[in-house]
Chain A
């Protein structure tokens, strides 16, 4: 189950130095019965400045745990290990997993912020939005009241909200889509270089979801931060991502540019996910489902964890857990896959019309 740390990956794709460099990242949870379960099993990933990376996969694949682990927000029974290096704009390198106390608080919000699923739970229900803005800014900066007001208003306008109205509202007085946009504005208060969004539009109505997506497009263009967004919705990844990483059973099993991933997926699981999404434009497509469900992390299949659901699986797949390796020689076109049968995997169905 050991995954080789491929340092070769680091220089591929993207430009310059990665903002976030993740090597052999693991998260373990202690269970009630004294055992441990590995929810993230050795992830290697680089996030480049300005890049938007989508992390996709079914529920229970470790996506949220991965995001929480990166920001050291795991519950007490969780433990993260490996190497996470954050390269600050000023040239300093930060060992995220070694941070503590004040430094850790500085890293969160200032360097990296997270927008959670279910916006209501992220707010203090008895505090107006103004209170949230001031609390966040005061905890991290020496900004004056006036400066905080201006900064908050600027960001609220950026997410297409009226500061005059929103600042004096309690969270419950806002609609779901407004709350989600307030959260995005708040997460950007301290100009983080990385934004992690966990299912940012799930549970929102279609038109509201569209407005949040449009807002994300806009603010990213204006502010130029990098983002990792976690989603089970592949269409959202198609819309928002520069690069896509597919996660299965705690590992990244394929990663590549968004066009490569959607038009030329090479892992049977990515292929299966794409073939299961009904498009809205055009005729009735042939959809296929992936049989079964993700395995329990406490009882993973031998070899490749996907083999029991995979139509390409052979005997060898029960023995070998393939590492994530590059499959393309084209420079700047990093596409890595963890499958010994990747040369047989082809998406034939869809052509961009």
Chain B
């Protein structure tokens, strides 16, 4: 059932990564005390690669993405782009960086200016950043971009306002806008989660084509592992829980042969679109459904109060480090580290 042998080789450090998050943390000060929304995360994105970040709400996915996009400065650690710490860049170079990394939000209705036509939405950044010269050239480029995101024929869309479009069409416009500045990385933060199933797949297929044709890398954030599997199959996936990366590896491995009890629980919990299969799935047992507060993290492994494999004295002692458990796959779990990862059931 699993396709581990056919797993495409993921070149880990063979190429030079385009972006690296090096031990980044983000600490927010709140009335309840400091909250570590992201704690010492290490991630890298190679050119044209898809890196999926999955986890439940509050796991720190969006905070990590905002640091990657240069929207917030990490409390500690470094965000490296093209070999340079982005927070050491001069103003102009930082602007170039921001052009190279574009963010596509969850809700295109909120992220598109409702008083601008699609043409204005697309030509404004082109003209502002001097990507093209003159309104005529900008209009032509806008036309081209709409074709790239499958809004054809473009003349049907250019003069429309966001409210005149469907959710899927609006999200395509948001992607077209992200493409105006020829980005090297697109950060897609739950970009398809508001769309209906059938439309979601066509938007993902379009994004996949952009990756292949334009070589754009993706930091793809989703709570939906099935979507991460579909979009990120050839890339890698990091699973986050309460601010930490708990498992990391090639997407097919994470989906078909997860080792961390949390990843296993997530994957087991997802219903399948197949009545016989979904009713015979065995679930990883959990001790509790309560997600601890980030302000009062449990000692040791933050998952231990919920984990079915909890061992007294082992799991509530030190915080487990992310270590390699199989080639290319790492997990932060004391039990897996001690016993080794059992081989995936064939």
Residues of A near any B CB (own CB < 8 A): 58-59, 160, 175, 177, 205-211, 213, 232-236, 238-239, 241, 258-259, 262-263, 272-274, 276-285, 287-291, 293, 350, 352-353
Contacts and interface: CB of A to CB of B under 8 A. Distances in A.
The 7 closest A-B pairs by CB, nearest first: A289-B202, A210-B269, A235-B271, A290-B198, A205-B56, A277-B273, A239-B271
Interface string B220-254: 00010111011001000000000000000000100
B274 interface: yes
| Best-buried of A208, A276, A289, A350 by chain B (most CB within 10 Å) | A289
Most buried by B among A281, A282, A284: A281
Contact of B289 (A207, A236, A274, A350): A207
A175 B273 contact: no
B13 interface: no
Given A235-B278, A281-B272, A289-B202, A59 B196 contact: yes
A28 B279 CA distance: 38
B265 A276 contact: no
A94 B227 CA distance: 45
Given A238-B278, A280-B270, A58 B223 contact: no
Contact of B56 (A207, A283, A293, A353): A207
Contacts of B283: 210
A289 B196 CA distance: 10
Contacts of A262: 273-275
B255 interface: yes
Interface in B140-193: 166, 168
B323 interface: no
Given A58-B196, A284-B233, A293 B275 contact: no
Contacts of B127: none
A206 B198 contact: no
B225 A277 contact: no
A280 B198 contact: no
Q: Is the interface of B mostly helix, strand, loop or mixed?
A: helix
Interface string B279-317: 101010010011100000000000000000000000000
Given A235-B272, A350-B274, A280 B199 contact: no
B205 A289 contact: yes
Contact of A283 (B3, B168, B200, B265): B3
B57 interface: yes
Contacts of A288: 201
B110 interface: no
Contact of B229 (A175, A235, A280): A280
B227 A278 contact: yes
A262 B290 CA distance: 34
Contacts of B202: 289, 291
Interface string B1-24: 111001000000000000000000
Q: Is the interface of A mostly helix, strand, loop or mixed?
A: loop
Contact of B198 (A208, A238, A276, A283): A276
Contact of A207 (B3, B229, B266): B266
Given A280-B255, A281-B277, A293 B270 contact: no
30 contacts: A58-B197, A59-B196, A207-B56, A207-B286, A209-B269, A211-B289, A232-B197, A235-B271, A238-B272, A238-B273, A239-B275, A241-B275, A262-B274, A274-B273, A276-B198, A276-B201, A278-B227, A279-B274, A280-B270, A281-B272, A282-B3, A284-B252, A287-B205, A287-B230, A289-B205, A290-B198, A293-B196, A352-B276, A352-B277, A353-B277
Contacts of A285: 230
Contacts of B273: 234-235, 238, 262, 274, 277, 279
A223 to B, nearest CB: 20
A285 B196 CA distance: 19
With most chain A CB atoms within 10 A of its CB, the pick from B197, B276, B277 is B197
A278 B289 contact: no
B275 to A, nearest CB: 5
A272 B271 contact: no
A259 B227 contact: no
Nearest to A350: B274
B101 interface: no
B234 to A, nearest CB: 9
A281 B1 contact: yes
In this complex, the member of A239, A290, A353 whose beta carbon has the largest number of chain B beta carbons within 10 angstroms is: A239
Contacts of B229: 278, 280, 284
A238 B271 contact: yes
Given A210-B270, A350-B274, 18 more contacts: A206-B56, A206-B266, A206-B270, A207-B56, A207-B266, A239-B272, A258-B275, A262-B274, A277-B273, A279-B226, A280-B267, A280-B270, A280-B272, A281-B272, A282-B3, A282-B256, A289-B202, A353-B277
Contacts of B56: 205-208
A14 to B, nearest CB: 18
A278 B226 contact: yes
B172 to A, nearest CB: 12
Contacts of A59: 196
A58 B198 contact: yes
B157 to A, nearest CB: 14
